[in-house]
Amino acid sequence: MESNEKIQILSDLIQFDSRNGNERPVAEYLKALFEKHGIEAEILPLASDPDHRANLVAHVGTGKPVIAFTGHMDVVDFDRSQWATDPLQLTMDGDKMFGRGVSDMKSGLAAAAIALIDIKEKEIPFDGTLRFLATAGEEVGMAGSTALQAAGYMDDVDALIVGEPTGYNTSFANKGELNITLSAKGKAAHSSTPQLGINAIQELMDVWADIKTKLDERSQKDTNQYLGQDVYNIDVINGGSQPNILPATAEAQLNVRTVPEFDNEAVLAIIDQAIADFNANHKGEVSREVTMEIIPIEGDLHSKLIQKMQAIAKAAVGKDIKAIAAPGGTDASKLLVDHPIGFPMAVFGPGNFLTAHQNNEECSKDMYLKFIDMYTELFTTVSTEY
């Protein structure tokens, strides 16, 4: 495949408006692209919205080992007025390519798809099966990867490659994440007579102070050598209607990033105990709801997969390639829910993570084209290690 066609495929993907959903047109495009080149692919609609949301699965080869690649088709939202270019058009400026999702992560998706096509058309020999998993909803909720894991598409996988943007590095671990809504119920009263009411905002502040103290104590003790310690923030808070009314309700949204040593279950246990203690000694009531959860993943730093990635990338760019741990989550947290520690998993993909989710998101054209070649070599050689 010529370079201009490789760029055109990425350009086509950028033009699909798959902001936080509507991934099915992307899946249909990929299915048609694969089938044009003799690769069977299947669209798997999501039960929640089958007309607009879907995963895609494609295979090249048969038997064991099974090497899986995963990449997501959705992108985050954007404000056109804050972009120097049209975010739904691939715009070139020298080596730089601009567009929403060009780094996170339609360049990785396109590069892997083209690599599979090259392997198929050139009849490059390899052992086993290459499985391509294009997911819906990674940016919000990870519904796509959850569905693929539940349907058994990871049951026979021997190694997993995640195409999120790492540049010329690779990542083998990521933190887990919890989004938790804390809700407080009090009693409204005139602000001049607060003794007649229950201030829901104050309740929320008090219980959060206790939660934070307990989280601080545990997180400083139970750290991970690669990922560090848990971090947590109140990112949204709502309550009250006007200055002269004691607020009857209040709500805060808490985001927690977890490590294996102080994982999601342990964090929730501390929060639940703090809430129970608070409710037992106060007239108001505080509750919590988990609105999103992914677990921390720690792959094998010394796996043959990472060693192969490092060797291929070093040959391509002439420098040593780092294996790092990442604070953000990926679909691996859902796909590897049964194998969170020690599985041969690595994140390796084109793009600039620092511009992901930002205005004027960009990716190097040279890096994108190099990754197609690196994926082709990786997909056809790593299977010999498993």
Indicate the pairing of strand 249-258 with strand 231-239.
antiparallel
Answer for the pair 366, 351: CB distance below 8 angstroms, yes or no.
Answer: no
Active site residue 361: no
Phi-psi map region of 194: left, alpha, beta (phi>0 left; psi -120 to 50 alpha): alpha
- Which residue stretches of 58-171 are H helix? 106-122, 143-150
Q: For 214, left (φ over 0), alpha (ψ -120 to 50), or beta?
A: alpha
Q: Which of 23, 74, 104, 139 is catalytic?
A: 74
How far apart (Å, rounded) are the C-alpha atoms in residues 102 and 84? 15
Q: Rounded to whole angstroms, how far apart are CA atoms 367 and 369? A: 5
The span from the CA of 143 to the CA of 195, in Å, is 46
Residue 362 a catalytic site member: no
What are residue 68's phi and psi, to 5 degrees?
A: -105, 140
The tally of CA atoms less than 13 A away on the side-chain side of residue 21 is 6
Question: Among 104, 118, 138, 139, which one carries the catalytic annotation?
Answer: 138
Quick one: three-class SS letters along 225-293? CCCECCEEEEEEEEECCCCCEECCEEEEEEEEEEECCECHHHHHHHHHHHHHHHHHCCCCEEEEEEEEE
Which residues on neighbouring strands pair with residue 286, listed in sequence order?
A: 184
Residue among 89, 159, 109 at smallest CA distance from 307: 159
Catalytic residues: 74, 138
